[in-house]
Structures are given as C-alpha cells and as structure tokens.
C-alpha cells in the first residue's frame, strides 16, 4: 500500500511535519511505502486555467508530487491553519489537482482520474482551540468529492502553541495511529 503525504507547513520540523511523521512512521510499520513531499522545498506554480479545454502542465517540481498522488492508495494533505485556512503552499499545490479532472464530452460532467478507491486524510494543525476553524475540512469536502475521494478523514490537532507541542499530545498521536491502522488494516481495526 502506498501513502503520499503533502506537507503544507512552511516550517520544517514543526507540529504539522511531526504529526505527519508520526502517522507515516506508523503506516510504514504496518508495511506501507510512504512518500513525503515538503511543499516548502519545491519550486512550482499554481493552477493554470485551461486553454481550449486543455490544462497547462508546467514543468516544475510538482510533477513528481502529482505522479505520486495518482499512484497512492492513501493521500495525506497536512497543513497548519494560517489566517483561517490551509497554507498557501498546500493551496497552490491542491489547485493543481484540477488537472485530474476531465469533462465528459457527451454529458458535460466532470470526471476524476485520481480519487476513486482512495482514502484522503486531511490533517489540520492549529494553535487555536477546538472551537475555532471547525468548518475548514467541510469547506474542502466538495473538492475532495469532485476529485473522487469518497473516503475522507479529518485529523485535527488543536491548541498547539509551541513548535513541538504535538509530541506532548498523546490523544492526537494515538488518533493518528488509529487512523493509520483503520486505513491500512481495516479488518484488524474492526476486531
């Protein structure tokens, strides 16, 4: 099983990176092959509107990210909350997912070439308490559905004021392990 993680934090080794590391390390212990992409280290541009129905595909560092998204079984989108939303790094990369959509010439409906049969994990890390930004995941759900991700999961880590606070949050770390187990070994998680 392949896991692809997109790390949206501009800060290396902060809470978002550490939570992804914990989740992916546990997934690896269950036999998964994990690819992590720290978007802060990549050179890329965002969405390019289609010209004559064809999406522009810039030759940049996101090409490998998109290739890994296409071939993975589990996609992890991880971001701290910056100014009430995901970071610009993750949003810019996520906008490029539009290239996975294709319009049916007969019905006009949009079809996805990427999400069917895959699971998506949305990791939301924030210094704010649980009562703030509850709707962020719901805001992106229509896009996840349009891309074909019918199995979407939210992992929120709230109230993390210090850079490595997630390591002192056993309930969040346990939730990350449980989610990895459910996605990788669903029959074992039900037992």
What span, in angstroms and rounded, lies between the C-alpha atoms of 73 and 35? Answer: 11
Domain boundaries, the chain: 2-190
Task: Determine if residue 52 is left, alpha or beta; phi over 0 gives left, psi from -120 to 50 gives alpha, anything else beta.
Answer: left
Question: Within its chain, how far is the Cα of 4 from the centroid?
Answer: 8
How confident is the model over 88-108, as pLDDT tens digits?
999 999 999 988 988 888 988
Q: pTM value?
A: 0.93
Q: How far is residue 13's CA from residue 15's CA, in Å, rounded to a whole number?
A: 7
**2-190, CATH topology level:** Rossmann fold (3.40.50)
What is the structure's pLDDT at 14? Answer: 97
Residue 37 to residue 92: CA distance in whole angstroms? 14
Q: What percent of the chain has pLDDT over 70?
A: 95
Please enumerate in sequence order all residues whose Cβ is within 8 A of that of 113, keeping only pairs 6 or more positions apart, or say none: 70, 100, 101, 102
User: Could you give the strand order of the β-sheet that contains 151-157, starting from the edge strand earlier in sequence?
Assistant: 33-38, 2-7, 74-80, 119-125, 151-157
């Amino acid at each position: 099983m392949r896991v692809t993680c997109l790390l949206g934090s501009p800060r290396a080794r902060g809470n978002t990176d550490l939570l992804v590391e914990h989740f992916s390390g546990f997934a690896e212990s269950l036999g998964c092959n994990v690819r992590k992409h720290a978007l802060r280290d990549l050179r890329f541009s965002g969405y390019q509107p289609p010209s004559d129905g064809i999406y522009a595909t810039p030759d940049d560092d996101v090409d490998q990210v998109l290739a890994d998204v296409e071939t993975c079984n589990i996609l992890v989108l991880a971001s701290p909350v910056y100014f009430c939303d995901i970071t610009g790094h993750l949003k810019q990369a996520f906008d490029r997912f539009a290239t996975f959509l294709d319009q049916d010439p007969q019905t006009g409906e949009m079809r996805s070439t990427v999400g069917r049969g895959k699971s998506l994990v949305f990791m939301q890390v924030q210094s704010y308490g649980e009562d703030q930004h509850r709707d962020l995941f719901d805001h992106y759900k229509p896009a996840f559905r349009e891309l074909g991700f019918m199995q979407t999961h939210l992992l929120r880590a709230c109230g993390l004021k210090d850079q490595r606070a997630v390591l002192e949050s056993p309930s969040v770390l346990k939730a990350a392990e449980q989610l990895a187990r459910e996605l990788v070994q669903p029959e074992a998680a039900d037992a």
